[in-house]
Amino acid sequence: MRFSTSVARVATAAAILFTTNVHALQKVTRAGRYLYTDDGNRFYIKGIAYQPQGITSNDPNNPFPEPSSFTDPLADSAGCARDIPFLKQLSVNAIRVYSVNSSLNHDSCMQALSAAGIYTILDLSIPLNGSIDRSNPAWTTNLLDLYLTTIDVFSKYDNILAYNIGNEVIVNSNGTVAAPYIKAAARDVKAYLTSKNLQGLVGYAAIDQSADLLVPLANYLSCDSNTDSIDLFGLNNYEWRGDSTFEASYAGVEGAFAGYNVAAYFSEFGSVTKPPRLWTEVQALFSDQMSPVWSGGLAFSYFPAESGDGEFGMVTISGNTVTPNADFTRLVAQYGKVSAPTTPSKSDAGAGTYPSCPAANSTWLASTTLPPTPDDTACACAVSNLSCQFTPQTTNTTAIVGQLIDAACSSLGGAGGNCNDIGGSGSAGTYGRFSYCDPNSKLSFIMTEFYEITNRNAQSCNFAGNATVNKNAPSSVSAVNAAVAQCLSKSQATHTPSAPSTPAATGGSSGGGGGGSPSTPKSSSAALGRAGFEGALGIGAMLVACVVGGMWTLV
């Protein structure tokens, strides 16, 4: 059945919680483990994922494929005007958007969403080269600049609810070494928001996995203190299949998070493994059985999104025509019946506590020592003093920098050096002095190390034409080392980051351009959530384990 914008809208229960209006939206903040609006009422996220699916390769060896590009739905004013009437039919008060292009204009969409009473949960990462690499994690200047540039662009809107610093970065025990980098991102993003008095909670969205990984991850991201903890833990949960029950599908996760100290919600829900999707989990999620822990959730997905499990989309779109399917109709009915508990009051919620961080063990490998805050100024100062600098023959440096770092480290290792200065260990809690710099700067550093260790042999600063001797560098090895050390010493290990002097490039395509879009949303075997929006940076191993071997020549 085709819906039109003239279809009568379903009345929404608990209007003070889920109001749609044309006035400025109230700010949503966290008190303890719950969310509240300015007027003191408890706030529940009643939303939907809103991002066109990306184009990914069908690699059977990679369960988390990266899309080749993405579409920014918040830059598509015509698309937003087309879709918002249907979002209002769903009576949602929030959408989640997974990737945006900060160089584009988002005024029309964000203002229209605000007028419709709809908040936005915005993932700061982008595919390919703009997220924390789950295989070789790092927290670097290019990622921090990307995140802060996006925040600066969206900070003027009153309907920003939260910024996600990562999505499904950790998917297994070995990957828990990435946790310190995620927590460092939360620390620095939160410090930036606080320094500028900007609206927005800091969140992370986790894959649903065994409790021995999920619980330590959630606790780690909210331990120690407010300054380095997230505000909002999201769980991509697909345990409710068909017409299930709280006891069968949610009792376990409710119990696992019973004592959790910050706000939590289902950042995705809506399994398709036992069709049809009846959405009966909505009544459980917003009930007094789950409201002591959870603050609502987001149904997946408004746009068509296919995976091995089936079709997740709730509409099909042809030009300006939107045709909802039966999933949409059933979600309208279920969301329309929501009447969530209003307790506890904000005054009873308290300020919250921050427990000690979980200790490392055989399955949880994360150190409690976090990497430093990335510092553009320190990195730029150091690079200006390096004697051999990366001067690529192509503008598409992301296609070659990983290979070149591999090669440079191999050559350096063969000459008796190492790449420890650009690397780090999330398990040991040790981070090289150059580890927070961007990949291009790291490459210049390793090229210089090799150039110097080979007594400034001219051929050692070539790398198939991708390196050039810096004639303005200090004249001796000791002088180069001293200059670089002085540059890096000016940066404190942890500090409030500054806005990048040049806005970080985000790539992608505009919403109206018909370009690529996010990746395959689910894994068929374990309902893995929106797999692949985040993970590999697509530039080779960004932090490379040095390979000891012979000299290398790129041909």
19 in helix, strand or coil? Answer: coil
CA torsion angle for 356, 362, 367, 371 (degrees, to 10)?
-140
Distances (CA, A) of 404 to 27, 143, 368, 436, 550: 47, 20, 32, 18, 15
CA torsion angle for 394, 398, 404, 409 (degrees, to 10)?
150
Beta strand 160-167 with 201-207 is parallel
265 in helix, strand or coil? Answer: strand
Residues 341, 385: Cα–Cα separation, whole Å: 61
CA torsion angle for 479, 485, 486, 492 (degrees, to 10)?
180
DSSP secondary structure of 276-334 = S---THHHHHTSTTTTTTEEEEEES-SS--EETTEE--SEEEETTEEEE-HHHHHHHHH
112-131 burial, b for 16+ CB within 10 Å, e for fewer?
bbbbbbbbbbbbbbbbbbbb
Residue carrying structure tokens 């590999």? 536
> 239, 254, 268, 311: which one is catalytic?
268
452 is catalytic: no
Which residue pairs, CB below 8 angstroms and at least 24 apart, start in 409-412? 409/446, 409/544, 409/545, 409/546, 409/547, 410/546, 410/547, 410/548, 410/549, 410/552, 411/450, 411/551, 411/552, 412/446, 412/449, 412/450, 412/453, 412/546
Q: Show Cβ contacts of residue 507 under 8 Å, excluding neighbours closer than 6 positions.
A: 69, 101, 126, 128, 129, 130
DSSP secondary structure of 482-521 = HHHHHHHHTS-SS-PPPPPSSPPP---EETTTT-------
**Contact of 29 with 43, CB cutoff 8 Å:** no
**Contact of 250 with 240, CB cutoff 8 Å:** yes
> What's the first-to-final CA gap in the chain, in angstroms?
60
Residue type, 522: K
Question: SS3 sequence, 353-382?
Answer: CCCCCCCCCCCCCCCCCCCCCCCHHHHHHH
**Contact of 72 with 515, CB cutoff 8 Å:** no
11 in helix, strand or coil? Answer: coil
> 168, 281, 452, 534: which one is catalytic?
168
**Contact of 410 with 444, CB cutoff 8 Å:** no
Residues 271, 521: Cα–Cα separation, whole Å: 11
Please give the DSSP secondary-structure letter assigned to residue 392: -
168 is catalytic: yes
Catalytic residues: 168, 268
